[in-house]
Amino acid sequence: MPKNKIFFIIFYCLLCTSVIAQNKTSKEIKILSENVGMYIKLAKTNIKNDKYYQARNDLDDALKNARNANNNALIGLVYYETGELLLLMQEYGEAELSFQKAILKQELLKNKKALANSYGGLGDTYLNQQSYTAANKYYRLAEIVYGEANEVDAQMFAILKKGIVHYKQDEFSYAIEEFDKCIARAKTKNSQDVLSAAYLYKGHIVSRLIDLDRGMRMAYKGYAIAEENNYTEVLKNTFFIISEIEELKGDSQKSISYLKKHIRFNDSLDAVRDNKLSTKKRLEFLKNGQTEYQLEKIENLQELKDTKTKNKIITMLAFAFFTILSLFTISLYKNNTIRKKSNNELSLKNKELIIAKDTAEQATKAKANFLSTVTHELRTPLYAVTGLTNMLIEEDPKEEQKKHLTSLKFSGDYLLTFINDILDINKIEAQKVDLETEIFNLKSKAKNILLALSNAQPKNNVKLHLEYDKELPNYFILDQVKISQILINLVGNSLKFTKNGDIWVRILKTKVEQEHYTLRFEVEDNGIGISKEKQENIFESFAQGSIEINRKYGGTGLGLSIVKGLVGILGGTISLESELGKGTKFYFEIKLKKAEKKTEIKQLHYFKDLEASKLENISVLIVEDNKINQMITQKTLSKMKIKSDIVDNGEAAVELIKEKKYNVILMDIHMPGIGGVEATKQIRKLDKNLIIFALTAVTLDDKLDEFKKAGFTNVISKPFKQEMFEKILFTELTKQNIIS
């Protein structure tokens, strides 16, 4: 994850923490913090009593209290203690995640000792999974941070673990260097546990590579210290190492004896561990009875050698048999180790993929929220720009002012189109676009689109042509809005890059299956064309031919990306053919169902066709805190001959509804005090049938559900077109028989 995103997340967490914490008294926080300490102590007691799962519940309760107290230091501590418990239970995947969460909190708080502890715990997790590179990395971090915190004893353990990692990887020179550091410091600090382990591992290396006798003395010294103090973690590996040293010396009798001790000791530890864990773990232990079988064979072999010591031939055969069995056991052990390492690496990769997936989903969600916020903040002032511009144009401005106002209107409309394009891309990528199928005249729709674009085009002297297959019916069933968007974007794109030329729109039949037609749509021009290298990413968002083309011809670079998404939603794929200087052809195929001729509905003119007497009793309440937006909305209603009152907050709206009768409320969402959603909930308790519109710049689809639950009749997005506003208002007033 990029650093700037990490900083953003951390900042957001801190902000949320500070806001929530303000809602709790210092006494409550103190009690919660004390509860955390109590639960951690309970957990440690339960661990000592082998009640691991009860300890896990205690730590879960500790985490809840730490979160409620908003204490990042305690949260990090609980995550660390949980990681240690999970490590003890050999739940390595969960332990790894818990230590990482602890590290995130402790890095934030710069708690060095706690941070070093978590680094060490994560190193132990990777060491147990034989992920030596990762283990070495975190032991090294633990060593550094312990040094900064002046925690000398703890730093020794980190150095020892680094040495063991090098030992496991056969990096013996590095291992000896680390073990020498431990021995020197342990003697000064009288740290017998570190000293015994360092002597043991270093003695094994020295006996194998340098001096057998010196190595033996060193290893036995470490063994003696571990046995005297009952250091279980050291003894786990001690007997096996001593067995190997005795084998190097040539004393097979002692080698076998220590190997048997190693097997018995580790089997007993495994049995104890399995007994502490679940029934499933215990069953897995009982199922794996190979070590007991091998031990029995070794004991039988020893008995055979003891009873027939005088028979040299039989003794040699028995020794040979043991050697073969040992080699076979070592081979099995190595194979199991390799298999386990492969499984751990695969598990690690799966975790990385899951983390990457979660990160991608969070990034997508953050992008969607960011776009929603930006478009909301743009729409609010844009409502004022477009509204005031339309007012000035309608108020008979001077001739020299008309040109400037027309340019201002064009700029406002362009900005609104750009915002809507961004939202379309966001919806398509989030797969939140639904199909709204209906009967429509495809041929008429295509003609109207070309006529509108022809009238609106710049003076490029371009002719638009429609070729509609004569064998095709006119009426089909599909989402006509999305087909219109596709054709408008494709033809609009061709108009930008064609001068003194022609554009052909072709709708052709390719396949018929009963009432279903597969149609091929083509949009071809003889404009500037697209180079081969630019064709590869032409359908990506914000992609255009080049920076120079962007500056010369304008546009957002979103149109073709929207087209690709919409064609995909309709079940097709889009392609292109182009050559520089000769033109471009876009084409796609989609399936439509044939329909009977649609009954034409007479065009309504809404409020223009109504008598003044039907409008004089309609009253509207505008709830809006922005003075300019108040004026624009009231002016819009005045042109429709509808009376209105204005209040600038939700509380005033609720009080006014108690005193006066209104037919319609136009409610803004974001206002000081009670917002539009809460005000609507309160008004609904007073009047269930009142028409309430959310007049807002909010655009996220998930907000629409919130508005519906609050009791809004409908939503009108700002800025809106006059015709659309009249249509929605007229429809709702007609439904309630307020006008007829």
pLDDT digits (tens, 9 = 90+) for 118-138: 888 888 888 888 888 888 888
Pick the CATH number of 1-143 from 1.10.510.10, 3.30.70.2740, 1.25.40.10, 3.50.50.60: 1.25.40.10
Long-range pairs, 111-115, Cβ under 8 A, ≥24: 111/73, 111/76, 112/145, 112/146, 112/148, 112/149, 113/145, 113/146, 113/149, 113/151, 113/154, 114/73, 114/76, 114/77, 114/80, 115/145
Taking the C-alpha atoms of residue 700 and residue 422, their distance in angstroms, rounded to an integer, is 12
- Whether this model's pTM surpasses 0.85: no
CB 107 within 8 A of CB 115: yes
Taking the C-alpha atoms of residue 324 and residue 642, their distance in angstroms, rounded to an integer, is 102
Backbone angles phi, psi at 257, to 5 degrees: -60, -45
Determine which helix (DSSP H) or strand (DSSP E) holds 73, and give its type and residue range.
helix 72-88
Taking the C-alpha atoms of residue 729 and residue 695, their distance in angstroms, rounded to an integer, is 12
Domain 607-735 class, CATH top level: alpha beta
Please say if the pLDDT value at position 509 is more than 50: yes
Of 242 and 371, the one with more pLDDT? 242
At a CB cut-off of 8 Å and minimum separation 6, what does 262 contact? 239, 240, 243
Give me the mean pLDDT over the 172-184 stretch: 83
State the pLDDT at residue 341.
77
State the pLDDT at residue 82.
87
Burial of 558 (0-12, 13-18, 19+ CB in 10 A): buried
Q: Hey, which residues does 716 pair with through a beta bridge? A: 695
CB 676 within 8 A of CB 621: no
Determine which helix (DSSP H) or strand (DSSP E) holds 654, and give its type and residue range.
helix 650-659
**Both tokens of residue 680?**
């609507």
Q: Hey, which residues does 727 pair with through a beta bridge? A: none
Of 16 and 112, the one with more pLDDT? 112
Q: Hey, which residues does 27 pair with through a beta bridge? A: none
Output the CA torsion sign for 301, 306, 308, 310. Answer: positive
Please say if the pLDDT value at position 27 is more than 70: yes
Give me the mean pLDDT over the 158-164 stretch: 84
CB 235 within 8 A of CB 261: no
Q: Using the structure block, give the residue that is written with the tokens 């009080």.
A: 655
Backbone angles phi, psi at 513, to 5 degrees: -130, 95
Q: What is the pLDDT of residues 580-613, one digit of tens each?
A: 888 999 999 999 999 887 655 454 556 766 666 6
State the pLDDT at residue 516.
92
Please say if the pLDDT value at position 298 is more than 70: no
Backbone angles phi, psi at 675, to 5 degrees: -75, 175
- What is the number of H-type helices and E-type strands within the chain? 28, 12
359 Ramachandran zone, left/alpha/beta (phi>0; psi -120 to 50): alpha
Taking the C-alpha atoms of residue 55 and residue 402, their distance in angstroms, rounded to an integer, is 78
Determine which helix (DSSP H) or strand (DSSP E) holds 636, and give its type and residue range.
helix 627-639
Taking the C-alpha atoms of residue 205 and residue 684, their distance in angstroms, rounded to an integer, is 82
CB 96 within 8 A of CB 350: no
State the pLDDT at residue 12.
47
Backbone angles phi, psi at 164, to 5 degrees: -65, -40
Percent of the chain having pLDDT more than 70?
76
Please say if the pLDDT value at position 550 is more than 50: no
Burial of 94 (0-12, 13-18, 19+ CB in 10 A): middle
Of 678 and 273, the one with more pLDDT? 678
| Cβ count within 10 A of residue 213 | 10
State the pLDDT at residue 56.
81
Of 195 and 464, the one with more pLDDT? 464
Domain ranges, ordered by start, for the chain: 1-143, 383-429, 438-594, 607-735
Query: Residue 91 carries which side chain, given as an amino acid letter?
Result: E
Q: Hey, which residues does 512 pair with through a beta bridge? A: 517
Q: Hey, which residues does 586 pair with through a beta bridge? A: 523, 576
Least Cα distance to 134 among 86, 168, 176, 94 occurs for 168
The segment with the largest mean pLDDT, out of 348-352, 415-419, 549-553, is 348-352
Q: What is the pLDDT of residues 439-497, one digit of tens each?
A: 999 999 999 888 878 776 656 789 999 999 999 999 999 888 889 889 988 998 888 88
**Both tokens of residue 248?**
């190097």
Of 623 and 328, the one with more pLDDT? 623
* Residues in the chain, total: 740
**Both tokens of residue 207?**
């006996």
Q: Hey, which residues does 585 pair with through a beta bridge? A: 524, 577
**Both tokens of residue 296?**
């029995």
Least Cα distance to 59 among 73, 38, 28 occurs for 38
State the pLDDT at residue 61.
86
| Cβ count within 10 A of residue 720 | 17
CB 213 within 8 A of CB 249: no
* Mean model confidence pLDDT for the chain: 77
Give me the mean pLDDT over the 690-714 stretch: 80
Give me the mean pLDDT over the 657-673 stretch: 89
Question: How many whole angstroms from its chain centre is CA 245?
Answer: 53
Q: Hey, which residues does 391 pair with through a beta bridge? A: none
**Both tokens of residue 100?**
């990482």
Backbone angles phi, psi at 600, to 5 degrees: -75, 135
Taking the C-alpha atoms of residue 148 and residue 436, their distance in angstroms, rounded to an integer, is 65
Query: Residue 631 carries which side chain, given as an amino acid letter?
Result: M
Q: In which band, very low, low, confident or very high, does the pLDDT at 370 lie, cut at 50, 70 and 90?
A: low
The segment with the largest mean pLDDT, out of 14-18, 285-289, 390-394, 603-607, is 390-394
Taking the C-alpha atoms of residue 91 and residue 59, their distance in angstroms, rounded to an integer, is 15
Taking the C-alpha atoms of residue 622 and residue 665, their distance in angstroms, rounded to an integer, is 6
State the pLDDT at residue 291.
39
Determine which helix (DSSP H) or strand (DSSP E) holds 458, and give its type and residue range.
none
SS3 297: helix
Give me the mean pLDDT over the 57-79 stretch: 84
Give me the mean pLDDT over the 79-91 stretch: 84
Q: HEC string of 704-739? A: HHHHHHHCCCEEEECCCCHHHHHHHHHHHHHHCCCC
Domain 438-594 class, CATH top level: alpha beta
Taking the C-alpha atoms of residue 247 and residue 2, their distance in angstroms, rounded to an integer, is 53
- Within a 13 Å sphere around the CA of 403, how many CA atoms are in the beta-carbon half? 2
Give me the mean pLDDT over the 554-572 stretch: 77
SS3 11: helix
554 Ramachandran zone, left/alpha/beta (phi>0; psi -120 to 50): left
**Both tokens of residue 103?**
């590290």
Taking the C-alpha atoms of residue 134 and residue 124, their distance in angstroms, rounded to an integer, is 10
At a CB cut-off of 8 Å and minimum separation 6, what does 682 contact? 650, 654, 674
Q: Using the structure block, give the residue that is written with the tokens 């290298």.
A: 533
